[in-house]
Amino acid sequence: MGQRTYGLMAVDWEQRVDFDRLRRERLSRVKRMLKQSELGALLCFDMNNIRYITATHIGTWAMDKLVRFTLLPQDDEPILWDFGSAARHHQLYCPWLGERSRAGISTLRGAYPERARDVAKKIRIELEARNLHKEPLGVDVVELTVLFALQAEGLKVVDGQQLMQQVRRIKTPDEITLLVTACMMADAAYEELYRQMRPGMRENECVGLVSKVLYDLGSEHVEGVNAISGERCNPHPHVYTDRVLRPGDPAYFDILHSYNGYRTCYYRTIAVGSASPAMVDAYKRCRDYLDAAISLIRPGVTTADVVKVWPKAEEFGFANEEAAFALQYGHGVGLSIWEKPIFSRLSSFDYPEVIEESMVFALETFWPATDGWSAARIEEQLVVTKDGCEVITRFPAEELLVAGTRYYTATGPLPATRETQSQLNREGSPLEVVVASSKFEGSTTRG
């Protein structure tokens, strides 16, 4: 086991996360790959890319606003335009930016379209000052009004997101430690969820419980908690409700949260009180497909090699791979989920990616039960090592867990594997038992 788990505090007597090194190595990696590209500069509006380049953060409320932006010119340092007073805060508390932290806002997803020309003018002035205004400008994500304004300033806008995806696909040692820490927090959330699950609990209560554990431990953002139970398990709806857990329900969960920006994507399936034989079989099949994929992971293997071991969409009830997308799946995890590399039968055969050391990604599988309504879902996050991989999600998942009350009958404990309908768990034909019982009672009465 190569990945260490630390506490959440900084101390002087252990080398834990070195944030100065984290900032330095991330920026160095972007600069190096920008230098190798055809781009003259990189303009980012995606908050995860901005954080990677500038090591700044103003809260998850801004994640979808496209209000902040940073420019990284070739052979220079990043300039950040941020939301009002946040720019002054960075000047005071982010010495690595200093006066390169400036006030400036974009269009707030179209609510303030007049800002587009100001954004474009700011960028053009900086590029002209460095004689880069005639070079391609890579942009990660952009609103159309801003795109048109940049073009009106004479700038050649090209795709910059692919560069950032390539930059972020390999993790630094400190990034890996933060990802391990985020998984540790999700481990704890699953432990508490397992202890509390019982009939009468609602899916949304499960979401609230998990979120509280994570925030109490120091989570920066709970992006989402999938809580899917009972007949909602098949097909996967990808959203929780207020459905009430019932005895014998299958339930699967996905915990997506971040610690210092670094994410988890981490499924577990747990049965409530008991599990049907069909559900147990589905879980085993789901686990087998996942373990087959994990066994292949090492540097030099391709994503196409991995997805070969997964079933075709038609084998588990879907018309094609697009209809079954993300059920047998893999994706990079870092400052966001669904980074590179991507593992999917939809695309990996045509666009294979080579697995490299220090990648961190999640592999997830799904299998429907033969009863037509229940299903299993499991996901593990792992770090690619020099000769294999290490799974960093540790809540037990090698076999299906059963949560809730252990029921006892007059003759002993009720089996954990049983049908949800009680009459189906009794031996012999009920009608024959009743007839035999009636004959016995009749004979004793006549006597």
Whether residue 446 is predicted with pLDDT greater than 60 in this model: the reply is no
> Quick one: pLDDT at residue 41?
99
3-state secondary structure 123-143: HHHHHHHCCCCCCCEEECCCC
CA 103 to chain centre: 32
pTM: 0.95
Which alpha helices (H) appear in 295-336, and where do they start and end?
A: 303-307
> Quick one: pLDDT at residue 429?
73
Please state, rounded to an integer, the average pLDDT across all residues of the chain.
96
- Domains 19-168 and 173-403 fall in the same CATH topology: no
Tell me the per-residue pLDDT of 126-184, one tens digit each, with 9 for 90 and over.
999 999 999 999 999 999 999 999 999 999 999 999 999 999 999 999 999 999 999 99
CA distance linking residue 286 with residue 301, whole number of Å: 22
**Is pLDDT larger for residue 230 or for residue 2?**
230
CB 93 within 8 A of CB 56: no
Q: Is 428 left (phi over 0), alpha (psi -120 to 50) or beta?
A: left
Residues of the chain above pLDDT 90, percent: 93
Tell me the per-residue pLDDT of 382-405, one tens digit each, with 9 for 90 and over.
999 999 999 999 999 999 999 999
Instruction: Give the residue-averaged pLDDT of 257-272.
Output: 98
Grade residue 303 by pLDDT with cuts at 50, 70 and 90.
very high
| The domain defined by 19-168 carries CATH number 3.40.350.10 | yes
Whether residue 189 is predicted with pLDDT greater than 80 in this model: the reply is yes
Grade residue 427 by pLDDT with cuts at 50, 70 and 90.
confident
> Quick one: pLDDT at residue 105?
93
Instruction: Give the residue-averaged pLDDT of 2-24.
Output: 93
> Structure tokens of 180?
């391990």
Grade residue 2 by pLDDT with cuts at 50, 70 and 90.
confident
Instruction: Give the residue-averaged pLDDT of 97-125.
Output: 96
CA distance linking residue 78 with residue 146, whole number of Å: 20
> Quick one: pLDDT at residue 186?
99
Instruction: Give the residue-averaged pLDDT of 53-74.
Output: 96
Enumerate the domain spans of the chain.
Answer: 19-168, 173-403
For domain 173-403, which architecture applies?
Alpha-Beta Complex (3.90)
> Quick one: pLDDT at residue 428?
75
| N- to C-terminal Cα separation, the chain | 74
